[in-house]
Amino acid sequence: MGVTRRTVATGLAALGSAALMPAPASADTAQLEEAARKEGSLTWYIAQVDSETAEKMGRAFTARYPGVKVSVIRTTGQVAFERLNQDLKNNAPQCDVFSATDIGHMPALRKRNALARYTPENAAFISPAFKGLGEEGYFYPTTSTLMLIIVNTEKVKPEDAPKNWTDLLEPKWKGRAAFGHPGFSGYVGVWTVQMRKMYGWGFFEKLAKNNPRIGRSGNDPISLLNAGECVVGLGPLSTALMVADRGNPIGIVYPTDGSVLCVGPSAVLASAPHPNAARLFMNWLLSTEFAEICAEHRIDAARADVPPKPGAKPLSEVKLLSVGTDELVKTVPEVIEQWRETFS
């Protein structure tokens, strides 16, 4: 079930509620839509996109299915997961659909029987690149992005920009580099696990000596670069391209030692207060309409029938780094503690 480089490479090469008796087979969409309208709303815990984009996605769903409102709760990945865990612990269900930035969250929820058993009709259209990056009947990849190096193009010449991850350790970037925090961002957690795997924790001890600016969200470094407070850093490709599209001085570097692939899975909660609306929404997250909104905001959706906007390399041309799901479950908590000790 793990996310592996072989899984990704192979795929790229190939380029209901109790009332409805939820089962692994697809629900009848017409019946589901009718039942969802009776429920009238759903709550979405989302970390994969920023608040503005998440709200736009929620409104698009309501426009497609009038009478079913989406309450968007957007936070960073680890915060969303902790909030969900508190809901479960207190037996106070609020979340209907959970969209994570750390795929390792899903097996942990599955182990607790916290995920509903449901196979969306649109799961049949998931791109071969994402096949196997979920668990059939429980959670599915809905988005992805790359974590790579970002630069302020007004302050860093192309020839001076970092070429690989270890270049960020050079003294010339002291006090001038920006990063998110793995204790808040699922994508930063995935990146941290991969860097430790490649270079050992010594990489981060050297990084700490450079006094980087540490935010929370994986998007925080882009804000710091855009404001000119830092000049290089770590960031998600999707946000970097979206900010650059607005005319801001944000550039991207695909590191020679590899860009970290981060898959964003989604699932319906077993305790969903609005189980029919949740299933309808989960099916929509795998629809062409959702994929088109993702493409507009520079996010890679799980479908292959909606091409991305120009400006980014095809994944088939990128050296990809990916971490297995089981490894993330085990090691993300470890690197969060190491990070806190190292960066205080």
Domains in the chain, start-ordered, CATH in brackets?
Answer: 14-143+264-308 (3.40.190.10), 145-260+323-343 (3.40.190.10)
State residue 84's pLDDT score.
97
Please give the Cα distance from 113 to 269 (Å, whole number). Answer: 9
pLDDT tens digits for 259-273? 999 999 999 999 999
Stretch among 11-15, 169-173, 242-246, 260-264 having the lowest mean pLDDT: 11-15
Q: Rounded to 5 degrees, what angle do the CA atoms 311, 315, 318 make? A: 90
Q: Checking DSSP bridges between strand 250-253 and strand 259-268, what pairing results, if any?
A: unpaired
3-state DSSP call for residue 104? coil
Alpha-carbon dihedral 60, 314, 76, 219, rounded to 10 degrees: -100
Neighbours of 175 (CB within 10 A): 10
State residue 322's pLDDT score.
87
Q: Is residue 2 predicted with pLDDT exceeding 70?
A: no
Stretch among 11-15, 139-143, 243-247, 249-253 having the lowest mean pLDDT: 11-15
Q: Residue 108 carries which DSSP code?
A: H
Closest by CA position to 219, among listed 89, 9, 51, 88: 51
Question: Please, what is the average pLDDT of the chain?
Answer: 90
Report the b/e string of 266-302 with b at 16+ CB within 10 A: bbbbbbbebbbbbbbbbbbbbbeebbebbbebbbbbb
Is the distance from CB of 218 to CB of 48 less than 8 angstroms?
A: no
Please give the Cα distance from 45 to 65 (Å, whole number). Answer: 19
pLDDT tens digits for 7-28? 443 343 333 333 333 333 344 7
Query: Model-level pTM greater than 0.85?
Result: no
Is the distance from CB of 3 to CB of 19 less than 8 angstroms?
A: no
Please give the Cα distance from 214 to 145 (Å, whole number). Answer: 21
3-state DSSP call for residue 266? strand
pLDDT tens digits for 45-103? 999 998 999 999 999 999 999 999 999 999 999 999 999 999 999 999 999 999 999 99
Query: What token pair was written down for 168?
Result: 């960020």
* Terminal CA-CA length for the chain: 35
Closest by CA position to 132, among listed 318, 259, 5: 5
Q: Which residues contact 124 (CB under 8 A, 6 or more apart)?
A: none
Site of tokens 């699932």: 267
Query: DSSP labels for 113-167?
Result: T-B-----GGGGGB-GGGTTSSBTTTEEEEEEEEEEEEEETTTS-GGGS--SGGG
Alpha helices by DSSP H, listed for 234-274, are 237-245
Please give the Cα distance from 212 to 334 (Å, whole number). Answer: 21
